[in-house]
A and B are shown apart, each in its own frame.
Chain A
Amino acid sequence: MTTTTRREVLAASLATAAFAGRSARAQSKDPIKIGAVLSLSGPVAVFGIPERDAITVAANAINDKGGISGRKLEIVLIDDKSNPTDAARGVTQAASTDKVVAIIGPSSGSGILAAGPVAQRLQVPLLGPAGTIAITDKKNEFWPWIFRVAPSDRVDVKVVLQDMAKGGFKKIGVMYQEDAYGKTGLDYAGELSSGLGLDVVESASAPYTATDLTPQATRLRNAGVQAVFLQISIASLGVAFVKAAQQVGLTGPAYANAGLAQRSFAANAGAQADGLRVLSIGNIGFDPSPPEAELASLLRKAGKEPQGWGELVGSNGLMAAVAAARLIGDGPITGPAMRDALEKACGFPTYSRGHACFSPDNHDGWSEDSLTVTVVHDGQLKPLQG
């Protein structure tokens, strides 16, 4: 009996030691779960789908190189269906059911505003790929939990207007689409123009469903504008405007904001769009910098052709999360830990251009140096010469 007991105890303690050893190793090998709540259906899917593609290939690339301190990245994908209700719902699910430590998304400004309170309550930071100024407004109670991973709309508009001022124009017109993006462009153009020596003498707008923009183009032409600022993100509206402008004899050059930096706009706008300037976040499709080229090749290997800057902005979200996780190092990776680490993340590697930096006081990580002015030529977006 004594022998059995001793053998039993020995077996039991060996088993316990082995088990403890294995579970400790298993814990440090647990994947780091990052949520991606993006618009995979509905109108905003034009940007949400490229964001998803980039996040997926970038995460796979990191995992292939061993992950972060031996831990693999696991991306949890949820569709926010381009509406704020489902954005909030997606964030709730990712945070409470899937227990992610950070969320890239939602894809639209209204989605981020709706999900902000949830992120605050469930203590998971949101890495928002939207330009809407309101999401990093310090008056929001949930401000500490939102980090912007793209240049804001205000920065975009300023860069376009500065480019227009360099062209020597004085009287400009604004053509915008009837939605949040368009209206914001109009408002900021009005606000920033006088400081740059420009005067917005006329503006015209069109709803998504407009089939013909000749009345709008006529209005701008009648006001004698020397150049037009285009705040449009729907490719077909952009094309319609270009055609209408040519038809009615609106001859001044057009300067488009980043909303139109899409392959489908450049390809369909036709020969009359040659010379049209389009602001872009990097130029992954047609003139990539070395990191952009690397992301492009990762995408192509996965069978996806880069569409515009959606992929870059999505990857920004992932690289920011990776940077935060690396800063935490060996400690436990939780939502609040990620949030604190993000505020210390500065100068970390990204695929986009420019210097990415967050601080406890600034949650807008990207600004002008990731933007570049391109020109439509031959169905492509070529870099501006000189």
Chain B
Amino acid sequence: MEDCLQTIADYGLRSLGIGERLLPRTGFTLCQQFTLIGSGMIWNIYFGTLALIAGFFLAVAVALGKASANPLVRKPAEWFIFIFRGSPLFIQFFFAYFLFLSLKGSYPIFSPLTSATFGALTVLFLNTAGYSAEIFYGALQSIPKGDTEAADAYGLTGWSKFRRVVYPTMLRLAWPAYTNEAIFLFHSTTLVFFAGFPAFQQKGDALYYARYFADRTFNPFVPYPILAVYFILLTLVIIAIFGWMNGRLNRHLPSDARPRLRFRPQLIR
């Protein structure tokens, strides 16, 4: 127990570069594995949360663009969605990393983007914006005709019609699918350190450390289930937060007419 507290003190923030410099090399204890993999989760949460929040705004804009009648706006939005949904995230990471690397050669201002902290975040932000935009677009298409007609009857137009009628209804309809997208995004943050972006001084995410232990001990039956436990907990937290928001979005409906969140995982991006 004493040992374990010491391990947590040494390695609890190892993924940020705080604490013991060397990773454990021999006699790997369960406590070390739990602590380091948990420490790596900091990165998964960092990537997931920031990309999700920033991606939300771009996604709404792109979804409105795709629903627009003007082809000058619609075409770029359609291409944006197709490119990010039609190709593997893994390849997007590689491409972006090498793109940033060559940009850095010509313009030093791009040098932060070659680190995972900002570069991978940018890719995840654009990627989740692409996936969410498709979800929001689908929701925009299924807004009941009566709702917009009622808005017209009240004399609402332009911005106020969007803000008071279209936008809340779109969010309400898209929310269950968007919850899955959020879970899925957190899962795909595990790809960051496998695709180009280097982990400086062994500061990696949860999967990076899980793989470190699996490679060192030749025993996949301990680190990967630990990783699984962490991710299932994270998934439950996301479902709780999004479920609460879902309740708020639907609070004007009678309680038996409120749509329930159902976890339907998508797979790989």
**Are A and B interaction partners?**
no
Residues of B within 8 A of A (CB): none
